[in-house]
Amino acid sequence: MVPDVPAAEVAALDPGDPDFVADPYPVFHALRSRAALHRHPAWGSHVALSHEMCSTVLRHRRLLRVWTDREPAAEFESFNALHRLSMLENEQHHDRLRAAVSPLFHRRHVDSMRPVITELVERRLGELCERIEAEGDADLMAGLARPLPVDVIATLLGFPLRDGPLLRNWSNRIVRMYEPEIDEPARRDAERAAGEFRGYIADLAEHRRRRPGDDLLSALADGSGDLSGDELIANYVLLLMAGHEASVNGIGNAVVALHEHPEQWRHLRQVREDERALLTAVDELLRHDTPNQLFERTAVRPVELGGHRVEEGEKVVVLLGAANRDPAVFSAPDGLDLTRAPNPHLALGVGAHYCLGAPLARLEIGLVLAALAARLPEYALPTPPHAARPSPSAATTGSASQLDRRRVSSRFPTTPRSSVSCQRRSC
């Protein structure tokens, strides 16, 4: 029989508690030391904590994502359609839908975009440095971490770059649907945003049919591929929304972690021009403070997990942050070691739903960190340097609740407020 989460940890394992979200790892360690799989009475689901158990759940063909329409379905037609027809939610057609867009995310194609991404990074970072020069400090998340990933994925997918703010606005309104206590006006606004986004993609696809370009949307919009019109719209929205989440959160978490580990920041500055060493560092930063920590699967048939039976219809929540700090797999798991190799972290998933954009996210985060190391080598953050908070990104990341980490490094001041400082000459 699967053990219940002990009463003390039920209270502690609360995604709505800012203290837990700020540092969930002690709770994860305590639970994992008792069992790899627990039953959480309040959540009504099983909870997987060890690296082995989380990997097993994510790979298991009887544990799948199961979409349920928002009700009343007739009033949330656009929101439901965007999810029901996406590769993330449509298990029956997952392989076909993924295959239609996967060439765009192959490592070779992503590597070919390095010059374009580098140019986008330099442009956003240049604007950030100009703000530091003019105002004395700048907001990293607003000026770089949030807009840049949308710039990159929009360029990759063939969206006009000028529409980035519009795309971010729709994405942010749609994912509000996943907040635990969303009110009715916000639900209606999420549906409106979904409808507006659908209409935008439909109009853009029609334009590409008439005037095709050298981009994926032009290739898919002519109707000769494996995607129907509605599937094209749903998966393009998914790729835009999901394609920037890991990078946004990963950049914020990485900057905070490097601020808290100055010796590792010095190492990164030394290896910033070494592509292999830089990717090794990115993998460790993703492991150390996993941006999207919680995924959910549903048993479509009874399944045995670690000697325990999970019945059809029961849910299993996978805590990736717990898996990535498992001492059975990682030495000194709470430490940050940018040379750690091998590094079998699960931050980007595993199995059939392994993050399609993983090569893009790793490259993008690496280029941002390399650019920061070159142009802002002595950055400073205020105290406290970040605010870890719940993030309503379940729609795009596969999260079941609001445990996604968004440790926001907010400002880059030019006056010393901590152990390191960002002087004007650094830009």
DSSP 62-74: TEE------SSGG
Strand partners, 97: none
Residue 417, pLDDT score? 28
Catalytic residue among 355, 388, 395, 400: 355
**Inter-residue contact 32 to 49 (CB < 8 Å):** yes
Catalytic residue among 45, 78, 171, 247: 247
The answer to whether residue 71 is catalytic is: no
Residue 232, pLDDT score? 84
The answer to whether residue 245 is catalytic is: yes
The answer to whether residue 206 is catalytic is: no
Catalytic residue among 191, 231, 314, 364: 364
Q: What is the DSSP letter of 68?
A: -
Blockwise average pLDDT, block size 10, the chain, 427 residues: 73 80 91 92 90 96 90 94 83 82 86 95 94 85 91 88 90 83 91 95 89 77 72 86 82 90 95 96 96 90 92 95 97 98 96 89 96 84 50 37 44 35 38
The answer to whether residue 422 is catalytic is: no
Distance between CA atoms of 403 and 34, rounded to whole angstroms? 21
The answer to whether residue 427 is catalytic is: no
Residue 333, pLDDT score? 98
Q: What burial class does residue 334 get, using C-beta atoms within 10 Å of its C-beta: 0-12 exposed, 13-18 middle, 19+ buried?
A: exposed
